[in-house]
Structure 1
Amino acid sequence: MKLVKTPIAIMLLNLITHAAYAESSATNQTADEQSIEVIQVHSGYRTTNLQNTATSLSVLTEQDIAVRNGQNLEEIVGAAANVNFSSGSQRARYYQIRGIGERSQFKEPINPSVGLIIDNIDFSGIGSIASTFDIAQVELFRGPQGTQFGANALAGLIYMSSHQPSDEFEGAIRLSAGNYHSYSAGLALSGPASDKVNYRFSAEQYSSDGFITNTYLDREDTNNRDELMLRGKLAIEASKELTIDLALIHADFNNGYDAFSLDNDRNTLSDQPGFDEQQTTAASAKLMYRKFSGFDIVSIFSLMDSDLAYGYDEDWSYQGMHPYEYSSTDHYLRDRTNYTAEFRLVSNNRSQLFANTTDWVIGAYFKQDDEDLTRRYTYLDGDFSSDFSAKNSAVFAQLDSELTKKITLTSGVRVEQRDSDYHNSQGVKFSPDDSMVGGKLVLSYQADKDAMIYAAINKGYKSGSVNTSGSLTKEQRVFKPEYLWNYEVGYKRQLLNNDAYIRAAAFYMKRDDIQISSYHLDERSDGSSEFISYWDNAARGYNYGIELEAAWQVTQQAEYYASVGLLETEFEGYRYANGTIESGRDQAHAPQYQFNIGINYYLNDQWYFNVNLDGKDNFYFSDSHSEKSDSYVLMHGSISYQQANWQLKLWARNIFDKDYVTRGFYFGNDPRDGYDSKAYYQLGEPAVLGATLNYQF
Structure 2
Amino acid sequence: MRRFRPIAVLWAGTMLTPAAFAQEAPTTPPVQLALATPPVAPALTDPEDPAIAPDDVQARDAGEIVVTARRREENVQDVPVAISVIGGATLEAQGTYNINRLTQLQPSLQFFSTNPRNTFINIRGIGAPFGLTNDGFEQGVGIYIDQVYYNRIAAATLDFVDVERIEVLRGPQGTLYGKNTTAGAINITTRAPSFDFEGRAEVSIGDYNFKQAKVSVSGPLTDNLAARISVSSTDRRGTIYNVATDTWINSQDNIGVRGALLWKPSDRLRLTLSGDFNLQDPICCGQIYARVGTTQRAANRQYAALTALFPGYVVPSTDPFDRLTDLDADLAARNEIGGTSLRAEWDLGAGTLTSVTAWRYWDWGPKNDRDFTGLPVYTRVNNPTKQNQYTQELRYAYDGRGFDFVIGAFGFYQKIHTTGVQETGSAASAWLLNPTSALSRNPAVLNGVLAENDIRLENLSLATFGKLNWHVTDRLTVSPGIRVNYDKKEGLYNSVVTGTASDGTRQVIGNSPTSAYYNDPWTAAQRGVQASQFFEPDFSDWNLSYDLNVSYDITPDILYYATYARSFKTGGINLNGVPSRPDGTPALEVAQIDPEKVDHFEIGFKTQFWDRRATFNVAGYWTSIKDFQASVISNVSGSNVLRGYLANADKVRVRGIEADFSIRPSQRLNAYLSGAFTDHKFVRFVDAPCPPELAGGGTGTPPGPAATPGANSPANCDVSGQWLPGVSKWAFSWGTEYNLPAKVLGRDGQAYAGYDANYRSKFSSNASRSIYTDIDGYSIHNFRAGFRTDNFDIFGWVRNAFDEDYFESLAVTPGNTGLISAQLGDPSTWGGTIKLSF
Does TM-score exceed 0.5, indicating one fold? yes
Query: Deviation at 1:576?
Result: 3.1
Query: Deviation at 1:659?
Result: 1.2
384, 390, 397: which one aligns with 2:459: 390
Question: Residues 75, 32 of structure 1: CA spacing in aligned structure 2 closer, same or farther, 3 A cutoff?
Answer: farther
Return the letter of the residue paired with 2:272.
D
Question: Residues 566, 487 of structure 1: CA spacing in aligned structure 2 closer, same or farther, 3 A cutoff?
Answer: same
Match of 2:361 in 1: 305
For normalisation by structure 2, the TM-score amounts to 0.74
Cα deviation 1:501-534 (Å, max 9, x = unaligned): 1111011111111111345799xxxxxx999542
358, 374, 384: which one aligns with 1:333: 384
Match of 2:44 in 1: none
Alpha-carbon distance in structure 1 between the residues aligned to 2:339 and 2:175: 25
328, 332, 335: which one aligns with 1:271: 328
Structure 2 spans left out of the alignment, 5+ residues: 1-33, 35-53, 290-317, 425-448, 495-532, 581-586, 690-714, 742-748
Match of 2:352 in 1: 296
467, 471, 490: which one aligns with 2:574: 467
Indicate the SS of the match to 1:255. Answer: coil
Q: Choose 32-41 or 608-617, whichever is displaced more.
A: 32-41
Indicate the SS of the match to 1:34. Answer: helix
2:455–2:575: 8 Å Cα contact kept in structure 1? no
Question: Residues 543, 653 of structure 1: CA spacing in aligned structure 2 closer, same or farther, 3 A cutoff?
Answer: same
Query: Deviation at 1:134?
Result: 1.3
Question: Residues 668, 472 of structure 1: CA spacing in aligned structure 2 closer, same or farther, 3 A cutoff?
Answer: closer
Alpha-carbon distance in structure 2 between the residues aligned to 1:308 and 1:371: 11
Question: Residues 311, 438 of structure 1: CA spacing in aligned structure 2 closer, same or farther, 3 A cutoff?
Answer: farther
Question: Residues 634, 363 of structure 1: CA spacing in aligned structure 2 closer, same or farther, 3 A cutoff?
Answer: same
714, 728, 753: which one aligns with 1:591: 728
Q: Within the alignment, does 1:432 sit opposite 2:477 as a pair?
A: no
Cα deviation 1:224-280 (Å, max 9, x = unaligned): 211011011122112233211222111111122243122434211012242222112
Alpha-carbon distance in structure 1 between the residues aligned to 2:837 and 2:279: 26
Structure 1 spans left out of the alignment, 5+ residues: 1-11, 13-27, 320-324, 523-528, 670-674
131, 136, 140: which one aligns with 1:113: 140
Query: Deviation at 1:541?
Result: 1.2
1:91–1:128: 8 Å Cα contact kept in structure 2? no
Cα deviation 1:592-636 (Å, max 9, x = unaligned): 011011111112232111112200011111223422111011111
Alpha-carbon distance in structure 1 between the residues aligned to 2:824 and 2:392: 40
Question: Residues 576, 696 of structure 1: CA spacing in aligned structure 2 closer, same or farther, 3 A cutoff?
Answer: closer
2:578–2:591: 8 Å Cα contact kept in structure 1? no
Return the letter of the residue paired with 1:135.
V
Question: Residues 36, 540 of structure 1: CA spacing in aligned structure 2 closer, same or farther, 3 A cutoff?
Answer: farther
Q: Within the alignment, does 1:516 sit opposite 2:630 as a pair?
A: yes
532, 553, 563: which one aligns with 1:446: 553
Indicate the SS of the match to 2:91. Answer: helix
CA-based RMSD: 2.5
Return the letter of the residue paired with 2:260.
K
Alpha-carbon distance in structure 2 between the residues aligned to 1:690 and 1:521: 52
Q: Within the alignment, does 1:612 sit opposite 2:681 as a pair?
A: no
1:441–1:458: 8 Å Cα contact kept in structure 2? yes
Match of 2:297 in 1: none
Match of 1:664 in 2: 810
2:231–2:258: 8 Å Cα contact kept in structure 1? yes
Q: How many residues align?
A: 648
For normalisation by structure 1, the TM-score amounts to 0.88
Cα deviation 1:483-508 (Å, max 9, x = unaligned): 21111111111111011111110111
Query: Deviation at 1:64?
Result: 2.3
Alpha-carbon distance in structure 2 between the residues aligned to 1:210 and 1:216: 15
Q: Within the alignment, does 1:422 sit opposite 2:491 as a pair?
A: yes
1:182–1:207: 8 Å Cα contact kept in structure 2? yes
Query: Deviation at 1:310?
Result: 2.6
Match of 2:794 in 1: 648
Alpha-carbon distance in structure 2 between the residues aligned to 1:79 and 1:410: 30
Indicate the SS of the match to 2:725. Answer: coil
Question: Residues 58, 622 of structure 1: CA spacing in aligned structure 2 closer, same or farther, 3 A cutoff?
Answer: same
Match of 2:832 in 1: 691
Query: For residues 573-588 of structure 1, what are the structure 2 equivalents within 5 Å?
Result: 573-574=684-685, 575-576=687-688, 578-588=715-725
Alpha-carbon distance in structure 2 between the residues aligned to 1:62 and 1:289: 27
Match of 2:473 in 1: 404
Alpha-carbon distance in structure 2 between the residues aligned to 1:33 and 1:531: 67
Q: Within the alignment, does 1:54 sit opposite 2:80 as a pair?
A: yes
Query: Deviation at 1:328?
Result: 3.0
Query: Deviation at 1:223?
Result: 1.8
Indicate the SS of the match to 2:93. Answer: helix
Match of 2:260 in 1: 233
Match of 1:16 in 2: none
Q: Within the alignment, does 1:156 sit opposite 2:184 as a pair?
A: yes
Query: Deviation at 1:302?
Result: 1.1
Return the letter of the residue paired with 2:662.
A
Indicate the SS of the match to 2:222. Answer: coil
Alpha-carbon distance in structure 1 between the residues aligned to 2:644 and 2:119: 17
Query: Deviation at 1:92?
Result: 7.9
Question: Residues 281, 497 of structure 1: CA spacing in aligned structure 2 closer, same or farther, 3 A cutoff?
Answer: same
643, 665, 676: which one aligns with 2:817: 676
Alpha-carbon distance in structure 1 between the residues aligned to 2:355 and 2:132: 32
502, 508, 512: which one aligns with 2:616: 502
Q: Choose 149-158 or 226-235, whichever is displaced more.
A: 149-158
Match of 1:632 in 2: 778
Cα deviation 1:206-226 (Å, max 9, x = unaligned): 111121111222222x32211
Query: Deviation at 1:570?
Result: 1.1
Question: Residues 381, 666 of structure 1: CA spacing in aligned structure 2 closer, same or farther, 3 A cutoff?
Answer: closer
Query: Deviation at 1:445?
Result: 0.6
Question: Residues 35, 129 of structure 1: CA spacing in aligned structure 2 closer, same or farther, 3 A cutoff?
Answer: farther
Return the letter of the residue paired with 1:422.
G
408, 411, 423: which one aligns with 1:363: 408
Alpha-carbon distance in structure 2 between the residues aligned to 1:386 and 1:429: 10
Question: Residues 679, 272 of structure 1: CA spacing in aligned structure 2 closer, same or farther, 3 A cutoff?
Answer: closer
Return the letter of the residue paired with 1:236.
W
Alpha-carbon distance in structure 2 between the residues aligned to 1:253 and 1:580: 39
Match of 1:456 in 2: 563
More strand as a share of residues: 1
Alpha-carbon distance in structure 2 between the residues aligned to 1:271 and 1:689: 31
Alpha-carbon distance in structure 1 between the residues aligned to 2:651 and 2:814: 31
Query: Deviation at 1:590?
Result: 1.3
Q: Choose 640-649 or 472-481, whichever is displaced more.
A: 472-481
182, 185, 204: which one aligns with 2:213: 185
Q: Within the alignment, does 1:563 sit opposite 2:707 as a pair?
A: no
1:544–1:568: 8 Å Cα contact kept in structure 2? yes
Question: Residues 236, 31 of structure 1: CA spacing in aligned structure 2 closer, same or farther, 3 A cutoff?
Answer: farther
Alpha-carbon distance in structure 1 between the residues aligned to 2:157 and 2:603: 34
1:94–1:104: 8 Å Cα contact kept in structure 2? no
Match of 1:346 in 2: 397
Q: Within the alignment, does 1:554 sit opposite 2:665 as a pair?
A: yes
Alpha-carbon distance in structure 1 between the residues aligned to 2:333 and 2:388: 18
Query: For residues 59-78 of structure 1, what are the structure 2 equivalents within 5 Å?
Result: 59-78=85-104
Return the letter of the residue paired with 1:87.
S
Larger Rg: 2
119, 123, 131: which one aligns with 1:97: 123
Alpha-carbon distance in structure 2 between the residues aligned to 1:198 and 1:541: 50
Alpha-carbon distance in structure 2 between the residues aligned to 1:481 and 1:399: 26
Return the letter of the residue paired with 1:537.
N
257, 263, 268: which one aligns with 2:284: 257
Question: Residues 642, 514 of structure 1: CA spacing in aligned structure 2 closer, same or farther, 3 A cutoff?
Answer: same
1:338–1:368: 8 Å Cα contact kept in structure 2? yes
Match of 2:504 in 1: none
Question: Residues 29, 643 of structure 1: CA spacing in aligned structure 2 closer, same or farther, 3 A cutoff?
Answer: closer
Indicate the SS of the match to 2:384. Answer: strand
